[in-house]
Structure 1
Amino acid sequence: MTFDQPGQGEDPALSNHLHVAVIMDGNGRWASNRGWPRLVGHRKGAERVRELVDACPDIGIKYLTLYAFSTENWKRTTEEVMGLMSLFARYIKREAGRMNREGVRMRIIGDRARLDNKLRELFDWIEKETAGNDRVHLTVAINYGGRDEIRRATQAMARDVASGALALEQVSDAMISKYLDTGFLPDPDLVVRTSGETRVSNFLLWQAAYSEYVFTPVLWPDFTPQTMNTILQAYGERERRFGGVVK
């Protein structure tokens, strides 16, 4: 089973560098189906994150990017939004030691301007705390939207062109990628969305141009490392041509 990227051929060693992005959907529905508050589903979902991160080295995932809170999620109730922000903070504090022991590097993408100062400081801290780790790269998208990301990136590029720091001729696909929040990551090989919804919801719009997609009916709190491994086995049977033809 080979996990390749454009221009990288079919080197089997690349199977250890797979980038999987996940739209973690269905937490609230999972809880509501049981007559519980939606935040119970989010807490259960956080447990699944821990399990999946732990399993990444064994199932061949080097880069794991998780969609945790979108720019549109502010439309939810104040109770749910505040509960989610508290959950993010608790996860980082609780998992920091574990991530360092397991060689997990954590980064946060998205627009932090709207977030609480203490949460932003916590994000800065965990990124510095885990900066030396390289076994698994965990990226969590919080207050993230693909269109918002592209807007912020193009504004930054425009400022650099205006100041002379960037020549117009230097603006290329590769350069645009560097200005995105994910400039430190390879493009995702596979994007998985849970809960049965079949839309991309403004997630990694530029980066996922040639990604494979899987839409599974499994709600995120029921999504286990075994579920992911089954998806990866099926993904391994796909042939990624990146616009080319089969020879």
Structure 2
Amino acid sequence: MPTAAQRDTAAVGERSAHFLQPTGPGSFELWSTGIAVALLGMLHTGLNGRLAEIDREQYVFPEMAEQIADRLRGVRLEGMDDEIAGELTARMQSVNNDRHLRVRRATAGVSDGSGDWEAHCAAEAIQNAGGMRSVGRLDSRTGLLEIAPYTSPVHMAEGHVAAAFALLRGVERLVIDVREGRGGTPETVALICGYLLGSRPIHLQDLIDRAGDARQFWTSPAAARLPDEVPICVLTSA
């Protein structure tokens, strides 16, 4: 587990969103770390150039951004929307295997502003219980917490996280299953770790934006945290 002396640095894109007005059927979303961009109603032939433009403007590594943009140049987009999203994702990830950078087809309405995006996140936090997919006990002494599909923004997830650990109170060992987790917000990760990593604040990670500015994330030990002697097993996927 990371400590203050074990600095774990991660690079992310700028936390902003840009939206295009719809001009016809079909909606795509570009997702990167901290970036959600709606590409509404664009013809398939226009997606490549717009994705390359967004990539150059916002991707955290400018030198990689040019290489990724080159990989998008001249791609023939054929097939169903999901296939097109998959092809664009494969192209964008092919340079440095950044799995945070992906394109997906929007199956429902796509937000067209920050207010709508807040409402979208709030609805998903309710639907997904803030990322606390399930909580229970394998036996009288062993707790199980499944975190998926991703953790919601901390102010939307806090109540769900507190409820989950209230149900886990008294366990003598804990299994955390993140095999179907796809990530989430670092503030919520820090909140969860505050129930797990003891009575002293722990430095988890730094997030560095394109300008080189860093944000530190530390645990804030929760009053209802697990006792230090409780062993924790974490299940992860490849």
- TM-score normalised per structure 2: 0.28
Q: Which has the higher helix share?
A: 1
Q: Which has the higher strand share?
A: 2
Higher RCO (Cα < 8 Å, 6 or more apart): 1
- Larger of the two Rg values belongs to structure: 2
- TM-score normalised per structure 1: 0.27
